[in-house]
Chain A
């Protein structure tokens, strides 16, 4: 939690010695509050000042990393609502693998998950982690499963194993891979030793706030700080509330014991249940979601939700500026032009598709601004649109010379015709939802 200049001043020696380079302690305190100076510049700072200011400069929710090659970073969130700023570190999605599974099957599953990715709005969406569960007596199976993942994937690994011998050997295999250890039972001295030796982060499990706080304090006092919290709530409604309490305690009360990212292992009967729960937990504060199985359709929905929720509300997502074919356009199909704000693109392309017409959709580069905003900023004007069309060599790709512009920018039609000789500029409708009726009324081919 941020301290005010006055709070900091109270912790300083108040001697105005000037050794820090600033004439008075008050002035130095102000600089510290604005993060324009560091306490180490004061040679006379007390231990108390160091401890208090040190704690105040720590992020309220710690950044935790899992994996070495493809590192997942989670935590370090600062707000309860994404509209207050943004959510910074997208929820990691882990798929569970079980050691009892047949080796061949396991291998093909690992390979498939490793290769699986979906592209959406220029981003490659994929899973982040493997969650490996020891569910057979044989230690060998568990270790083999780990080796298979290590050989075939660069994703981070969470180990779920109650047998400490197996765990120790597993950590030896993963000694350079920064894994995480999922503890189903209360934290023990042995766990602390293993975590220290392997530099793995610890996922602490508890059934109540008090028990969870007790465990994080135990870990913290042993010097372990890479922690992830798994509060086992009773059902989705309680978990929504519990996750809110944990996040709020960390952010608003500076309650250090809960200043760590949250994880859920989701149990569900079928895919519908699974996506329902995962959607709630993704929105409300889980930093890692463990899915018990691999399901492409479900992952696509979850990836998209993650992309939506973790988009910075201040920065619109952009699509690549270029020509997009809608339906199956021929060189004679008409050309529509719009901006590269992703929402504009999705709505316009969707409505052209709904109209049943095939067309070329030119998405001009407006730095992600919507039609009216881009026009007002001078980024969506005749000259610039014409230049873009020439740059992408549209005239060589299509035979049509009809181009439809959004109704809201009818002003640019003259300018555009001037800069695009030979083209007929048609002013379209203002709302994308009217495109299907617009194309019925206006002859475009």
Chain B
């Protein structure tokens, strides 16, 4: 029986974003990471181009999150509070494509670490690994502006991914990114219009569009995942349909969001029908990640080493141009 595959082509294309910089470009990374560039829905090789596979970053901390589960701690033991050593372990042993340094400890209520100290930590991580770096902040505007300015300056030319700015607080950090040649995450709360608006605000201040990654805000499994999922599909579809202010690659945070919810921290003793805790935590992070991958996520920040392993393997399996059939 004859059958013709119904293909849909798109006018638009997701922008290609380069993270990190090699010595020729003013940085010290051994290689850069590219994301974006797709002309179709995620992994639809049969009807479009998907030049760059999604990448997995792992996160290290200036201060370990209060709710960080013990079973995760067990994977890192002596390096959990040494960001540069933990980063090295994530890259060498777990195959992280990038490292995110979370600077929660600079928050005035969570340690109030100084901007200088934060910049020092980021520099140490840059020295210990050769992959591109993401610098992840928080929402205390005044403090994070000061911290990110310092970090941008101290890492000038490295093309770090500065994570994040939001609609109410973008100018200072965007200006610092621009001055010291970094890439920027534009975060908005699960809303297509707000996402588009922030991208317009940024490009209106002459921030280059090819230096923007979108964060539509991750709701983990059971905590708003469906909203994130559909917003991402809509952003991807609109971007492909030709809306240039939505045609950016997207970042998600399944690690951070998963390992603070009850389902990844409560024991089987407490909830027998929930099953084994550590497995459940990993499953939760994987289910969040895999569903958002098919919705369009291209840069994923994860926590559980075994979840990272399986997600990387699946990305490899999904990233095969169509053969046969």
Most A Cβ at <10 Å: residue of B46, B287, B307: B287
1/0 per residue, CB under 8 A from B, across A293-313: the answer is 001111111101101110101
B317 near A242: Cβ-Cβ < 8 Å: no
At the interface, yes or no: B229 with Cβ under 8 Å from chain A?
yes
Interchain CB contact (< 8 A) of A308 among B221, B282, B314: B221
Q: Chain B contacts of A83 at CB under 8 A?
A: 230, 233-234
A301 near B237: Cβ-Cβ < 8 Å: no
A203 to B66 Cα, complex, angstroms: 50
Q: Chain B contacts of A346 at CB under 8 A?
A: 222-224
Q: Chain A contacts of B101 at CB under 8 A?
A: none
At the interface, yes or no: B269 with Cβ under 8 Å from chain A?
no
A300 near B273: Cβ-Cβ < 8 Å: yes
Give the shortest distance, in Å, between B262 (CB) and chain A (any CB): 7
At the interface, yes or no: A433 with Cβ under 8 Å from chain B?
yes
A302 to B290 Cα, complex, angstroms: 12
B317 near A235: Cβ-Cβ < 8 Å: yes
Interface residues on A, range: 35 or more
B230 near A237: Cβ-Cβ < 8 Å: no
Q: Chain B contacts of A209 at CB under 8 A?
A: 3, 5, 325
A interface majority secondary structure: helix
At the interface, yes or no: B225 with Cβ under 8 Å from chain A?
yes
**A275-B283, A304-B221, A346-B223 known; A237+B318 contact, CB < 8 A:** yes
Chain A residue, CB-CB nearest to B293: A280
At the interface, yes or no: B295 with Cβ under 8 Å from chain A?
yes
At the interface, yes or no: B164 with Cβ under 8 Å from chain A?
no
Q: Chain B contacts of A297 at CB under 8 A?
A: 274-277, 279-280, 283
Q: Chain B contacts of A437 at CB under 8 A?
A: 109
Chain B residue, CB-CB nearest to A231: B325
Interchain CB contact (< 8 A) of A237 among B2, B229, B317: B317
At the interface, yes or no: A69 with Cβ under 8 Å from chain B?
no
Q: Chain A contacts of B243 at CB under 8 A?
A: none
Q: Chain A contacts of B234 at CB under 8 A?
A: 81, 83
Q: Chain B contacts of A213 at CB under 8 A?
A: 1, 3
1/0 per residue, CB under 8 A from B, across A377-394: the answer is 000000000000000000
A344 to B282 Cα, complex, angstroms: 25
14 contacts between A and B (CB under 8 A): A82-B230, A83-B234, A214-B1, A238-B320, A248-B8, A272-B286, A273-B310, A275-B283, A276-B290, A279-B286, A280-B318, A298-B283, A300-B274, A311-B226
